[in-house]
Amino acid sequence: MSLKEFNDLAELDPAAVESLLKLARRLQDRPEPQALAGKVLALLFLSPSLRTLSSFQAAMLRLGGGSFVISPDMSIHGLETRSGIVMDGAAAEHLREAVPVISSYADALGIRAFANRSSLEDDLSDREYKAMRELVTVPLINMESAIQHPCQSLADWKTMDDLGIPRQGGKFVLSWAWHPRALPLAVPSATLHMAAMRGMDVTVAAPEGFELPEPIMARARAAAEHSGGSVRATNDRAEALEGAQVIYAKEWSSTRHYGDRLADAELREQLQDWCVDDPWFGTTAPDCRLMHCLPVRRGVAVTDRVLDGPRSVVIQEAQNRMWGQMAVLYQMIGPGA
């Protein structure tokens, strides 16, 4: 199965996901240090990263290839992202030239685009990422856009497989978590879809005003219908957590007040008890795990005692980013292409 793009896990059929997971495990067990010899991966970061940046670089090194990173923080000419504007401000370079130039030096390109968080419609349609996609002439990897994070989802799927968490019938709770700022919908959207594709019984638990948008829910319900799983949403956290085998905590914006920073802040002000702590596990399955994509604010989204305790698998998730991405690169520009 060769890959020309890796934009959204939902664009792959279940057999293709299975094949990537199998390859990731194989590369973990039996290294192939020359598989990508002579290959170059370009990494364009338009927003900050620790895991994605380092796991892609490590993945290329482990497979014998190389990578280079471009971000607006570096000593470049700034990067203008808006269309149709007169560039008389600080940035002297536009993405319309930068993306094809960077692509021309590489065999594949990864882009982290992020959400602008002003228009829900624009972010749900991944408008900015799709516009950049048009400029790319080599295989492309979505390293997180307004509404997708397929590399995180692949790693999370593998992490649950590694831990023996059941696919069919596994009880997965995606829970909103407290954060002082309005964060994007990419991880909750991608995570919901991944768990639904995996055949799990998924509950989204979120306070009023933070429900995931209906198009995201509908897409996940359709995936669950196909996989034999189920998807539902509730504002009742205590009820959602009963019997959970996984609590996946994630912070996200108010969808009722999307793009309205003050209204969002007012709504979340009273929600500081949505910080995952030991009592959350009172009625879950005894071996319920805590998942989070990281970075996580300790004592804000999740307490120290949960993060430092045996339930937390956040480091395994982060490590699986590298194995999963190695499989993607192998199929995209390596022997599997």
Least CB distance from residue 246 to ligand CP, whole Å?
17
Least CB distance from residue 152 to ligand CP, whole Å?
5
CA distances from 179 to 17, 76, 315, 332 (A): 32, 32, 20, 36
Least CB distance from residue 301 to ligand CP, whole Å?
13
CA distances from 87 to 72, 77, 211, 218, 335 (A): 16, 12, 38, 40, 43
- Taking every pair of Cα atoms in the chain, the longest distance, rounded to a whole number of angstroms, is 60
Q: Which is nearer to ligand CP, 98 or 293 (CB)?
A: 293
Other Cβ atoms less than 10 A from the Cβ of 85: the count is: 11
Angle made by CA atoms 119, 12, 187, in degrees to the nearest 5 = 40
The torsion angle over the Cα atoms of residues 62, 67, 70 and 71, rounded to 10 degrees, is: 0
Residues 212, 233 contacting (CB under 8 angstroms): yes
Q: Which is nearer to ligand CP, 49 or 203 (CB)?
A: 49
Least CB distance from residue 307 to ligand CP, whole Å?
15
Q: Which is nearer to ligand CP, 51 or 257 (CB)?
A: 51
Least CB distance from residue 70 to ligand CP, whole Å?
16
End-to-end CA distance of the chain: 7
Nearest CA among 329, 321, 15 for reference residue 155 = 321
Q: Which is nearer to ligand CP, 144 or 251 (CB)?
A: 144
Least CB distance from residue 53 to ligand CP, whole Å?
6
Q: Which is nearer to ligand CP, 128 or 201 (CB)?
A: 128
Q: Which is nearer to ligand CP, 55 or 254 (CB)?
A: 55
- The residues binding ligand CP (CB under 6 A) are 49-52, 144, 152, 293-295
